[in-house]
């Protein structure tokens, strides 16, 4: 299974996540639904090979559970969570949006604009994975940097 082709498919389908798990086919999360991208399951060896193919030597040496980011020209950036589950390697990749929208287009409460411009303070964006925290936060940081 070619990892680069999986990333290309992920971007083409506008998937938020790519799942690599032993004894399962690679899968994408598109619009909240998980879709297998092959009828063939990955063996434990294939899964391990895919996981290690994107790691540095140091990450391979210390591999158990690992979080890092990768970048591919023309495709963008991805957060990677690599793990061992039932003695088999796997990973989940999440696509990181490179285009940061203006805060106005997100229809955020106007008070956030004032909060983000404060010289001191702490702002918490909380919620479950995939509920939309990163883009509003990036948008507000962009606003602060531009003003």
Number of domains in the chain: 2
Same-domain check for residues 21 and 55:
yes
Sheet with 66-72, side-by-side order of all strands: 33-36, 27-30, 17-21, 88-96, 76-85, 66-72
Q: Which domain holds residue 110?
A: 103-146
Same-domain check for residues 22 and 66:
yes
Same-domain check for residues 16 and 85:
yes
Same-domain check for residues 91 and 107:
no
Give Dmax over CA atoms of the chain in angstroms: 54
Collect the ranges in the chain with pLDDT lower than 70.
Answer: 1
Q: Provide the whole-model pTM.
A: 0.76
Give the per-residue pLDDT at 90: 94
Give the per-residue pLDDT at 134: 82
């Amino acid at each position: 299974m070619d990892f680069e082709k999986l990333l290309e498919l992920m971007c083409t389908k506008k998937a938020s996540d790519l799942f690599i798990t032993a004894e399962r086919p690679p899968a994408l999360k598109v619009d909240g639904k998980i879709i297998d991208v092959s009828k063939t399951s990955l063996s434990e060896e294939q899964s391990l090979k895919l996981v290690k193919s994107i790691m540095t030597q140091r990450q391979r040496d210390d591999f158990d559970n690992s979080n890092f980011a990768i970048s591919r020209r023309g495709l963008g950036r991805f957060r990677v969570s690599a793990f061992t589950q039932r003695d088999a390697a796997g990973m989940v990749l999440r696509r990181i949006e490179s285009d940061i929208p203006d805060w106005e287009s997100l229809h955020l409460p106007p008070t956030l604009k004032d909060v983000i411009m404060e010289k001191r303070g702490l702002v918490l964006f909380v919620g479950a994975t995939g509920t939309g925290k990163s883009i509003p936060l990036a948008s507000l940081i962009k606003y602060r940097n531009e003003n």
